[in-house]
Chain A
Amino acid sequence: MAMTAATAEAASADRSAKKMPDRTFWLLAPGVIWMVLFLVVPILMMVYVSFWTQTTFAITPTLTIKSWVTFFSSDTYLSALWTTIRIWLIVLAATLIVGYPAALFVGLFVRNKTLQTVLLVLCVIPFWTSFLIRVLAWRPMLGKEGAINLILQGVGLINKPIEVLLFSELSVIIGMTQIYCVFMVGPIAFMMGRIDQSVIEAAQDLGAGFWRIFRTIILPLSMPGVVVGAIFVSVMVLGEFATSAALSGRKVNLLGNIIVTQVGSLKWAFAAVAGVILTILMGIVVAALLRVVDLRKEL
């Protein structure tokens, strides 16, 4: 868009157009420098420090792969890696299953624009509550004397409280699903909204049932939304540690929790190794998701 405006303008204002590259440079420089210094350099530093020598309370910049060997020969760290991958896959699936029907309804079935906006705003409002408070809010829900157990007992479905609801892997999964599913709903609802209704009507006129329409039209056209949502959810869940700290009672240790503990006990090199592994994991996941759908072509 800027391109066409630039060509249209070229004739009238070539004086200012010539000065532009310089201006662009100065406008862009502060932001780019900021990001290099405080984003790229820290990540590189993390990679570098993962090869430093760890002593009891300090690190020295003598290069070694000892921390890496320790990581891959320790059951604690490896099981944290598997837990991270397992929880990520489960939460990803859960957010998709929970979020997709809601996105389908908001994006495709609600024809009234105002109602659509209201529903989307309702989904976003919880984000104006502190993330940690939202995590903590699951404790009185899931606990032994929590709301869910009370309701289930009141209805008579169970006669003994379900204890596995809180301070277990299940509670971490429930909490994360609730917090992150909106990131799935948003992009999918957006793609649904762009589906041309006349295509669906044509299919209906030709006698296609709902499932057929869903499989052949709605699902393929909403895939880019699923991929974008999956990228959001994946990156956030893989970098998580607060939800597991609050809801698992130390039973679930993710890579993020390992990093927090290691930093707490000044084991910087180990923390850096865990950080690099997390970065690699995220890189693989995002690259794989981008393979599924070519976003540039679709958006």
Chain B
Amino acid sequence: MQASGTKLALGIYTALFLVFLYGPMVVLAILSFQTGPEGGPQFPIIEWSIYWYKHLFGMTPPTRIAPLPIEEALVRSLVLAVMTMIVSTVLGVTSAQAFRKKFTGSGFAFYLIVLGMMVPGVLVGLGMALIANALGIDRHWWGTTFVLHVVYTYPFAFLVMLAILNRFDQSVEEASWSLGVSPVKTFRKVTFPLIFPGVLSAMLFAFTLSYDEFSRTLFASGRDLTLPLAIYGTFSVEVHPNVFAFGVLTTLFSFALLGTYAVLMMLSIRRARRVAIQEEA
């Protein structure tokens, strides 16, 4: 498409669109450096300081502003995300393996799995709370919430793995089988290294989605808060810049995670390339 006037206009529009996407976060990040404890969550910046970051870690003298209950919540959220990541990746890999063969009812199974990422958290969460209520089970983040997180993240892992396995050269596996290597060993030595980039992506999806997941958690967990619930708790009260500082920190944490993923991905691709070169030689 070469209409240059239109192209220029659309380009400017897209730049504005990106400002719209990032603007609020930038403002939030700037305001997190407001001075404390008297500085509020608005402009102008009275004085630049890292007071609210210290406040988060309990390194400031106590004031009327209660610190965010993040310490235990952070541990819970991380444990929950790791649990969810492991289970949904295993489920995703196994079911995607199953889909490599055509079988009756595959359409039904596919939609059943994908439904998990489409149904809003408010509905599954409510349903799970009702079941726990009727059966007299206590709701906990490691129980009722955990199974719902897997319902949400497992479809993502499944779709990623399906995409990877679709592009996967089966003859390598068949060669291994025909040489008499057992299916389990074939999976470990041949299939798994080939699908590893997909597994890594599935894990990243599952971890970040679970770490952030809120609506399912709200209904299905009991008294113990996870991080998103701790943030949600601040919605109903006056917001102080400590929430903003916390937002900046979680964002940095996510980027660190993304960076780790990128490095691992690059290493695995480089290794695959090296193996390929060795085989050619």
Asked whether A128 and B208 contact (CB < 8 A) given A27-B94, A30-B94, A263-B126, the answer is: yes
Of listed A6, A61, A129, residue having the most chain B CB within 10 A: A129
Give A268 to B132 CA distance when docked, in angstroms.
12
Binary per-residue interface labels of chain B (167-181) against chain A in the complex, 1 for a CB within 8 Å, 0 otherwise: 000100010011000
Assembly CA distance A219 to B80 (angstroms): 44
> Which residues of chain A are near B118, meaning CB under 8 Å?
235
- Could you tell me the distance in whole angstroms from the C-beta of A276 to the nearest C-beta in chain B? 9
Chain B interface, DSSP helix/strand/loop, else mixed:
helix
How many angstroms from the CA of A173 to the CA of B129 in the assembled complex?
Answer: 29
Is the pair B235, A34 in contact by a Cβ cutoff of 8 Å?
no
Q: In this assembly, does B222 line the interface, its C-beta being within 8 Å of a C-beta of chain A? A: no
Cβ-based interface call for A150 (8 A): yes
Bound form: Cα–Cα A184–B227 in Å:
28
Q: B130 at interface (Cβ–Cβ under 8 A)?
A: yes
Given the known inter-chain contacts A27-B94, A105-B14, please indicate yes or no for A147 contacting B116, CB distance below 8 A.
Answer: no
The answer to whether A36 and B112 touch across the interface, beta carbons within 8 angstroms, is yes
Cβ contact within 8 Å between A109 and B28: no
Which residues on B sit within 8 Å (CB–CB) of A129? 25, 247, 250-251, 254
Chain B residues within 8 Å of A20, by CB: 101
Known A105-B11, A137-B28; judge A242-B130 contact (CB<8 A): no
Q: How large is the interface on B (under 10, 10 to 19, 20 to 34, 35 or more residues)?
A: 35 or more
B120 touching A134 by the CB < 8 A rule?
A: no
A139 to B243, CA, bound (A): 12
Q: A45-B130, A141-B24, A242-B232 are in contact. Are A31 and B7 (CB under 8 A)?
A: no
Taking the complex as formed, is A13 at the interface, i.e. its CB lies under 8 A from any CB of chain B?
Answer: yes
Q: Are A136 and B10 in contact, with the CB atoms below 8 A?
A: no
Contacts of A43 in B (CB 8 A): 119, 123-124, 127
In the bound complex, how far is the Cα of B11 from the Cα of A106, in angstroms? Answer: 9
What 0/1 pattern do residues 94 to 114 of B give for CB contact below 8 A with A?
110111111100000100110
B1-54: which residues lie under 8 A (CB-CB) from chain A?
1-3, 6-7, 10-11, 13-14, 17-18, 20-25, 27-28, 31, 41-43
Interface size counted on chain A using CB atoms at 8 A = 92
Beta-carbon contact of B251 and A140 below 8 Å: no
Instruction: Knowing A130-B212, A132-B231, say if A123 contacts B122 (CB, 8 Å).
Output: no
Q: Within 8 Å of chain A (Cβ to Cβ): is B133?
A: yes
Say whether B28 contacts A31, CB under 8 Å. no
Given A34-B150, A137-B247, A263-B219; 20 other pairs, CB 8 A cutoff: A24-B98, A28-B99, A35-B151, A38-B147, A42-B124, A43-B119, A45-B127, A45-B131, A45-B134, A105-B10, A126-B22, A126-B25, A132-B232, A133-B250, A140-B42, A141-B27, A178-B21, A238-B120, A256-B120, A272-B130
The 10 closest A-B pairs by CB, nearest first: A239-B120, A42-B127, A137-B24, A27-B98, A133-B247, A128-B254, A105-B10, A28-B98, A31-B95, A137-B28
Question: Could you list 22 examples of A-B contacts with CB < 8 Å?
Answer: A6-B102, A23-B98, A31-B113, A35-B115, A39-B151, A42-B124, A49-B134, A102-B13, A105-B14, A109-B7, A109-B10, A128-B208, A129-B251, A130-B228, A131-B228, A133-B250, A134-B25, A136-B28, A137-B24, A200-B1, A204-B2, A275-B122
